[in-house]
Structure 1
Amino acid sequence: MPAHGLTRARTMGPIADAVAAAGGSVRRVFGRAGMPLTLLDTPDRLILLRDQLALVEAAIREIGDAALPARLSTRAGIVGLGPIGVQVQSAETLGAALGRVEIVTPVLLQTATLTGVRCHGTEAFYSYEVAERIEIGRQANEILALGYLLGTARHFLGAGWRPKRAVVTGAWLPARGEIEALFGCEVALGPRAGLVFPAPLLGALNPRRIHPAREGGMEGAPIDDGLAGCVAHVIALDLDEGGPSIDRVARRLGLSRRTLQRRLEEAGTCYADIHRRVMLRRASERLAETTLGIGRIAAELGYGDAAHFTRAFLGWTGATPSQWRRHHSSRSRLASSKPGQA
C-alpha cells in the first residue's frame, strides 16, 4: 500500500483568499473539509494530501468555480512553490529544472506524488501523479499542479509560452473552456496528468538564473511520510479542533482502527506512544513560547482542568508545568547571557 501523502499547508491561504473574494464563507469551507482555520497562520505545517484535496473541492463547491485550481496556480506561478521555486530558478536549463522538481518535491513540499519527464520522439511529457489512492479532489489537484508545472516551464520559455496540450485524468472535465483559456492550450483527458511540449525545449537556457544559497533554496526540513509521522501530524492537527482520538485519526487516514493499530505495531510503535510525544511537544512549545496560564494551555490540549494536565505533564517529564517553565526560562536567560550569543 502506498504511503499516505503529506503536503505543506501553504496553499491554504490563497484558497481562503479566493473564497473570501468571491463572497463565500472561509469558515464553512474549512468546516466541510474538516480542517482548522489555524492552518492559515502556519503555511509550512504538514497536513495530509487527502485533506488538501478535500479543501480544494469544498472551495470549488462553495463559490461554484470549477476553474479555481487553474486560476490559483497560474496566478502564483513558481513563487507559489516556495523553496522548490528557488531551485527551479537556479537551474541552468529547463530539463535540469524539471529534474530538480522530481527530486525535491517529495522531500520538501508534497509526498506520495510523482513528477518526471518522458520523451517520445520529438515530444516531451512532463507528468504529475498522486501515488496514494485518493479519488475525491484528484482531478482538481492535478489541475492545480499543472498550473505550477506550467509556471516552471514559462520561467524558461516566457510568460506567453503555451504547451501543445495539457492532460488530466477522469471521465469529464468541468469548466474545460475556462481552464483551457488559463493554460493557453487544449486540455485532454488521459490515463496520466501532464503537459506535452516539444522535446528540444528541454535544452532552453535559464534567462534569469539565481543562486539558491543566497535565496534560501533548501529551507524547510525533509518530510517524514512514514505512517508514524503521518499519525503524529494528524494528532497535532486535531488538537486545534478540540482533541484527537484513535478512531478519528484512523478515519482521516482512510483506515480502520484495527488496521491502524496493526500497521503501527509492524512499525515498532503504537498510537498511545505517538499521542504522548505529540502532546508533550505541543505542551512544551506553549509553555516556552507564551505567557498563557497553565489552565489555558490545559484547555488547548483538551484537558478539563489544570490539575489533570499537571498530573499528565508530571508523568511525561518528572516536573510540573510551572517547574518546567521556570527551568526553561532560566536556561534561556543563561544561554543569552553567554559571550558570543545573539
Structure 2
Amino acid sequence: MNILISGASVAGPALALWLARYGATVTVVEKASTLRTGGQAVDFRGATHHTVLERMGILDEVRRRQTGGQDQTIVDAQGRPVTVIPGEFTGGDIEIRRGDLAELLYERTKDQCAYIFGDSITSLTETDNGVHVTFADGPPQTFDLLVGADGIHSNVRRLAFGPEQDHVRFLGYYYALANLDIDGENLMYNEPGRMIVIGGPKAQSFFVFAAPELSYDRYDPEQQKKLLLDAYRGGGWRIPEVLTKVPASPDFYFDSLSRVEMDHYAKGRVVLLGDAAYGNTLGGFGTGLAIVGAYVLANELHRSGYDHVTAFDRYTELLRPYAKGNQKGTAGPFLAPRTKRGISMRNLVFKRAALFGAMMKLTDRFATNIDLPGY
C-alpha cells in the first residue's frame, strides 16, 4: 500500500513506524520547513500507554529522554505558597518534551519513510483506485490512503469533512506558551478567569484565560501577543513583569481550548488520527491517545489486508469510546476558575489527600479504559 500521512509531530510518525514495519510505502508531508523540536512537555500514564510504547519498541528511549514530573507551587498575590500540585499529576508516569518525542519517532522512521517538509496538501479527490492529492509546491500524486494527523486545526479534515466549525467546539478559554527570561521555578498564580505559570515544564511562561470566542489570524503572532496583553492587563503578582517581555518573545504560541467532536473518523479512503480526530486541548491525554490510535489504526489495516472500509470502521469502533472518555476533562475551568471560590475549591483538591487520590484514580481510569487488542 502507498499511504500519505499529513503531519510530522507525534501521531503521524507513530503511525508511520507501524505501517513501515508492516511493509507499506509511507510518505509524510509536513507544512513546517523542518522537524519541530522543543515545545511543551507531554506525558504518558497507565498500563495502556506503557504497553503501546513497549510494542513500538521505544519505551526505554522515552524513559531515557524523560524530563521528570516536577511539583508546581501555587502562590498568592504576595508570592506566598498556597499549595503544591504534585509532579505525578502534571507529569503522569513519564513526561517528555513533545519535540524530543517527535525527534525520536522521526529517527526511527526516516530511513523507511519519505518525509517532505515545507509543503502541504491543497486538494484531494477520491477515485476508484485511490486519493489524488495536489500540493502547494510538489507535483500531484495518487495514494491508496490518506491519513490526516495534522492537529486540531486539521487541513485534511477541512478538505475531506468540511469546515472546522462543523467539527471543533470552542470551550471558552485560550492559552499561550512563551519562552521568556523570567526567574522562578514552576510557580503558578491565579486570578478569576486567568492563570499564569513561570518556569514550568510546558514553557518558561504558560497562560490560560477565559474569554468569549475571539477573531484573530492564527498565523499572526503579533496580533496574538496583543490579545494576551489585553487579557492580562491589570493583573497582580508578577504579571506586569512578565507582560513587558511578551512582545519580544521569539518563540510564542497562542490557541483556543477546543474539542474535536466527530461520530466517525473516516470518509472513503481518508482517515483522521490524533488531535485531528479527537483533540481536546490541554486535556492531558492527547499524546497518549495519538500513540494508541496509531497502534489500533495500523494494526487494523494490517489485519484486514488493507481493506480500508473494514479497518476504518473497526478503528472508529475501538477508539471512539476511549477518546470520548479522555475528552471528558476540560482544562480551562480547572486551570483558570472564573471565581475566587472556584480557585479555592480547586486548591483544596491538592490540600486534601483523599480528594487528590480520587482525582488520580479517575484520570488513570480514563487513560486505561480500552480493551487493547494484542494483534
Could you say whether these structures have the same fold, taking a TM-score greater than 0.5 normalized by the shorter chain as the test? no
Pick the TM interval, shorter chain.
under 0.3
Q: Under a length normalisation based on structure 1, what TM-score does the superposition of the two structures give?
A: 0.24
Structure (1 or 2) with the larger CA radius of gyration: 1
Q: Under a length normalisation based on structure 2, what TM-score does the superposition of the two structures give?
A: 0.22
Q: Which has the higher helix share?
A: 1
Q: Which has the higher strand share?
A: 2
